[in-house]
Structure 1
Amino acid sequence: MRINDLIIKETPDFVVLNKPAGMLTIPDRHDNQLQSLQGLLKKHYGEIFTVHRLDKDTSGIILFAKNETAHKYYSQLFESRHVKKFYMGLVNGQLLTPSGSVDEPIMEHPVQKGKMVTNKKGKASLTDYEVVEAFGLYSLVKLQIHTGRTHQIRVHMKHIGHPIAVDELYGTNAPIFLSAIKKNYKLGKNTEEERPLLSRLALHAWQLHFADQQGVEYVIEAPLPKDIQAVVTQLRKNSGRSSELVL
Structure 2
Amino acid sequence: MKFDTIFENGMLIAVNKPAGLLSIPGREGKEVSLKQMLADKYGEIFTVHRLDKNTSGVIVFAKNEAAHKALSGLFESRATEKIYYGLVHGSLSPQSGKIEEPIMQHPSGNGKMVLHIKGKPAFTEYETLEDFKRFSWVKFNILTGRTHQIRLHSRFIGHSIVCDDLYGDGSPVFLSSLKKKYNLGRNEMEERPVLSRLALHSASLKFTLDEEAFSFEAPLPKDLKALLQQLRKLNG
Which interval holds the TM-score relative to the shorter structure? over 0.9
Q: Which amino acid aligns with 1:25?
A: S
What does 1:1-247 correspond to in 2, within 5 Å? Answer: 1-2=1-2, 5-32=3-30, 35-111=32-108, 113-213=110-210, 215-240=211-236
The percentage of counterpart residues that share the same residue type is 55
Q: Distance in 1 between matches of 2:106 and 2:68?
A: 31
**TM-score, normalized by length of structure 2?**
0.96
Q: Which amino acid aligns with 1:167?
A: D
Q: Which amino acid aligns with 1:177?
A: F
- CA drift at 1:28: 1.1
Q: Distance in 2 between matches of 1:134 and 1:217?
A: 34
* Gap regions ≥5 residues in structure 2: none
Q: Which amino acid aligns with 1:164?
A: I
- CA drift at 1:189: 2.3
- CA drift at 1:112: 6.3
Q: Distance in 2 between matches of 1:122 and 1:46?
A: 36
**TM-score, normalized by length of structure 1?**
0.92
Q: Distance in 2 between matches of 1:239 and 1:85?
A: 29
Specify the SS of the correspondent of 1:233: helix
Q: Distance in 2 between matches of 1:31 and 1:105?
A: 30
Q: Which amino acid aligns with 1:121?
A: K
Q: Distance in 1 between matches of 2:12 and 2:120?
A: 29
Cα distance per residue 1:104-156 (max 9 Å; x no partner): 11122234622112121211111000001110111100001111111110000
Q: Which amino acid aligns with 1:159?
A: F
Q: Which amino acid aligns with 2:58?
A: I
Match of 1:243 in 2: none
* Gap regions ≥5 residues in structure 1: 241-247
